[in-house]
Amino acid sequence: MAALRHRVLAAAAVAAPLVAVLPLRAASAPVCDAFEIEYALAANLELTETPLGKGDGIYPVGPGAAVLRFVNKGGVPGGPVEMLSYQMHEHFVIHSTALFWRSSFTSITDTTVTPNACAVAAQGALVGRTIRWSTPLLAYRTDGVVTCQGSLCGKAGAPPPGETELHLGPGPVWFRPFDFAADMRTFTMPKTQVSKTESPKLTASIAMAGREIRRRCVQVQPCP
């Protein structure tokens, strides 16, 4: 009997530290009520209504990046979606010939958005494999420089000769839906108009593709 009592007490002594540790491990487990997913972006920039139509065309731009926050729906992204950030680098060159005018136009710009006080730039919802946006991107703006060389510069809505700072916006821009592939890792967005200006004279639209490069599980703090 004494030997049995000794074995019981020894087993209890070994189990006690384990019992004490288990609640601590459970308490320290991270709370995951949302996924923040970062996407690498590439886009085609389509220009129309350029001076004499000589700059009209489709120009590859990028790289870019966006971060979307999805609600955690049983371990997978779903439900309401918030865009937390967006940026796109645009660098392209236009060579134009019109009658006796020959010019080249180089644009180097970056497009960004400014989130609201709750760090959200746009809101939408994921239905099936498509995000449909319920608000525009806030404070969408493009900043950089354009350089014009040649006889067309300064005429018919073309920028002046030499290097000129370019600042478009900020203003709201509505993105078209994001359509995801079956694995939910990549998406495409059809052509969306993002600006229309008189100096330089043009209308700009982008079609975009995104690829997931990073995700993390987060706890979202309430925002008034």
For the segment 18-74, what is each residue's pLDDT rounded down to a tens digit?
A: 334 434 344 444 568 999 999 999 999 999 998 778 788 999 999 999 999 999 998
Provide CATH code, domain 32-218. 2.40.160
Question: Helix H segments across the chain?
Answer: 2-28
Identify the residue with better confidence: 222 or 22.
222
Q: Are 171 and 159 in contact (CB under 8 A)?
A: no
Dihedral, 224, 73, 188, 49 alpha carbons, nearest 10: -20
Close Cβ partners of 142 (under 8 Å, ≥ 6 residues apart) = 90, 109, 110, 111, 166, 167, 168, 169, 195
Name the region of 30 (left: φ>0; alpha: ψ -120 to 50; beta: rest).
beta
Classify strands 178-180 and 201-218 as parallel, antiparallel or unpaired.
unpaired
